[in-house]
Amino acid sequence: MKRKILVRGAGGKMGREACRAIEDSPDMEVVARACLEDDLDSLARESGAEYALDLTCPDALGGIDVLLETGLSVVVGTSGVTEEQRIRWARLCERLGSGLLVVPNFCIGVLLMQRFSEEAARWFADVEILEMHHEKKVDSPSGTAAATAERIASVLGSGRKPGGGESLEGTTRDCASKKDSGPCRGGKVAGIPIHSQRLPGYLAHQVVTFGGMGELLSIRHDTTDRQAFMPGVLAALRGLKGLRGVHCGLESILEGF
């Protein structure tokens, strides 16, 4: 019997690609395609959905509470999830006996990049991250970059100061020029500087650069087509079966990671 999936944000580029991948899968089907204006409670109940995939935007993450309240287990593929939201969802999941998986990035190659970066952090204390995305991505730094920084920092430990430069206060860097009226981009996560670019022509790219005496080590991942996310999307939805509580990262449900 096929798993019944509700896709929220189904009209976006990522949502349309995900719907095609789910429909092409032999073990699941899309039973509801939701946009931001839809009544999620009614749509979830009337469609008979068992699981939900959220691919919307940070401002719409309040809808996750509604999906959980209707009894669905949820994959959140939307960037910009806060710790406060994770804590609230964890309480809901505990009360309802459901599961939620937050996935900053669905690419298997990204998981490998993060793992290799953790290994490099055992030998290099100085590191910075550059992440580049399309111009319509609203959050900065990206969820992938933040997760990478946190994993590197867990290796570096609180006693070692990465970056070697002047401390950046808060989570957002000062603008380089006061003439720039747009939003500041980049910041520090877990003490590690992250630089963000948002330009047409990019999809999703990240470079982690470690510096040492007389040498540089760069670990790079490039996503050039949204099809690269689809194996991870399907794996995340399959991983919801029997999942309880809130879990972060695709690696939490993949064997071998």
Distance CA 14, CA 239 (A): 20
User: By three-state DSSP, how is residue 1 classified?
Assistant: coil
pLDDT of 157 reads 82
Q: How many residues does the chain have?
A: 257
pLDDT at 257: 65
Give the active site residue among 2, 13, 133, 221. 133
Ramachandran class of 105: left when φ > 0, alpha when ψ lies in -120 to 50, beta otherwise = beta
What does the block give as tokens for 78?
A: 């939307």
The answer to whether 247 is a known catalytic residue is no
Residue 172 confidence (pLDDT) above 80: no
| Domains assigned to the chain | 3-102+227-252 (3.40.50.720), 108-224 (3.30.360.10)
Dump pLDDT digits (tens) for 94-153: 999 999 999 989 999 999 999 999 999 999 999 999 999 999 998 889 989 999 999 999
Across the chain, mean pLDDT equals 89
* pLDDT of the residue at 167: 34
What is residue 189's predicted lDDT score, i.e. its pLDDT?
93
pLDDT band per the 50, 70, 90 thresholds, residue 255: confident
133: annotated active-site residue: yes
Number of C-beta neighbours around residue 124 at 10 A: 18
pLDDT in tens, 36-85: 999 999 999 999 999 999 999 999 999 999 999 999 999 999 888 999 99
Q: Name the one residue in this structure whose structure tokens are 């092409």.
A: 24
Active-site entry in 136, 137, 205, 221: 137
Q: Following CA atoms 140, 111, 15, 67 in sequence, which dihedral angle do they give, to the nearest 10 degrees?
A: -90
User: pTM here?
Assistant: 0.81
- Geometric angle at alpha carbon 230, from 228 and 234, rounded to 5°: 150
